[in-house]
Amino acid sequence: MPHIYRCALELMEPTFFSSREVSAIYQTEPLIGNYALAYAFGFCQAPYRTAGSPRYREDLGGLNQRGLYVTPATIQGAPRFTVGEFNAQTDTYWYAMGNNLLVTRPDGAWAEGAMGAWYIIERPGEKGRKLGVENRPQHGRIRYLALGNVALCYVISEQDITIPRYIRLGKFMSKARVTAEPVAFELVHAENVTIGFLLNPADLPAELAMTFWDTINVPPTPLIKNLRCSGACYRIDRDRYLPARMAFGV
């Protein structure tokens, strides 16, 4: 039988994930995805440099082989947010606005625009180095999960493991305190039970009969809540269940 740990995550700093982007507003939804948690707990690590594509299949697939899984984290109670503003524009003496590009120049060089493109020229007579477009925001407002929010997730492992006491989360590596405790459970065949906390539908076993649920569309994969289902489950409290045999569906 696996080991199941209930983990309470207390946010010690405002935490930002870009769950939704509308114009110049970048919003964090009141949840923490399980892919992010797998990396934050240190269960897997991405290399410092990548080819630019997500490595979920390589990194999370390795956790499936180890029999290690973590659920998404559900905010407890009413979520609280903090709204801030950012300005990522340069503070250099000279700059220019190009097409999807903020043009700056190194010391001793100069910049020239031609036919909608910009070039950095370091020596007289040379054509110069063409600047590429940058698809990143220059300014806007962001909505964080506020300090003090508490989120709950479960870690299921074939082996007895140590859960770190502190982790870093989100775009700005915000600190969160982790309180983990092992959970007593029994494997049962549940009939028409409701699982109120967040789950990743891509990770559920095919034999689980799902009746209805609420979908939350967030990247990189939608999550579901209030799932009504029947099938093999771990009963972790009198009326609280976890689907058995969950694994990262990458």
Distance, in Å, from the CA atom of 217 to the CA atom of 168, rounded to the nearest integer, reads: 24
The predicted-structure confidence for 209-240, as pLDDT tens digits, reads as follows: 999 999 999 999 999 999 999 999 999 988 89
User: What letter represents residue 110's amino acid?
Assistant: W
Q: Name 30's Cβ contacts closer than 8 Å, sequence gap at least 6.
A: 75, 79, 81, 145, 149
**DSSP character for 203?**
G
Convert the pLDDT of each residue in 36-53 to its tens digit: 999 999 999 888 887 778
Sheet containing strand 117-121, edge to edge, reads: 110-114, 117-121, 129-130
156 touches 64 (CB < 8 A):
no
User: What contacts 66, CB < 8 A, 6 or more positions away?
Assistant: 157, 158, 159
User: Which of the four pLDDT bands, split at 50, 70 and 90, describes residue 104?
Assistant: confident
Residue 81, pLDDT above cutoff 90:
yes
Q: Distance between CA atoms of 236 and 32, rounded to whole angstroms?
A: 21
Closest CA to 32 of 174, 139, 208, 163: 174
User: Considering the chain, what is the average pLDDT of its residues?
Assistant: 92
pTM as predicted: 0.84
Check whether 6 has a pLDDT greater than 90. Answer: yes
Nearest alpha carbon to residue 153 among 230, 223, 232, 231 = 223
Residue 54: asked if its preceding bond is cis (omega within 30°), the reply is no
Q: Tens digits of per-residue pLDDT, 27-38?
A: 999 999 999 999
Angle at 30 between CA 235 and CA 54, to 5 degrees: 90
pLDDT tops 90 at residue 3? yes
Beta bridge partners of 110: 121
